[in-house]
Structure 1
Amino acid sequence: MGSTFNSLVALIIFALDIWAIINVFKSSVGTGAKVLWVLLIALLPVLGLIIWAIAGPRGNVKL
């Protein structure tokens, strides 16, 4: 039971990281900033995702 839960949490974090990376690529910041954001999200999946959610660039979102 525990390993199934851990796998599900890991899969959710992975999906959110991919979503964040896609949004970084869609943003209008420079190439250098995009590379740094992607590295932060990829190397520190949970912490990088939290930092990106608070301070990261957003993609071109139309409401």
Structure 2
Amino acid sequence: MGIEITGLLGLIWLIIVIWAIVKVAKSPAGALPKLLWILILLFFPLIGLIIWFLLGPKG
């Protein structure tokens, strides 16, 4: 039972990170800020996602 729950949570986490990367890529920001946000989200998924939710694009 624990493996299924862990797998499901991992899948949900992956979907959230991919959603954040897509939102960054579609934002009107310049190329360098987009690249930096995407790299932060890829290399530091937990911290990067929290920072992106707090400081990222609004609306």
TM-score by length of 2: 0.88
Structure 2 unmatched ranges of 5 or more: none
1:9 Cα deviation from its structure 2 partner: 0.9
Measured on the aligned residues, the alpha-carbon RMSD in Å equals 1.3
Show structure 1 runs of 4+ deviating over 3 A: none
Higher relative CO (Cα under 8 Å, sequence separation at least 6) belongs to 1
Identity %: 42
Q: Which has the higher helix share?
A: 2
Alignment of structure 1 residues 1-63 onto 2, 5 Å: 1-58=1-58
TM-score by length of 1: 0.83
Structure 1 unmatched ranges of 5 or more: none
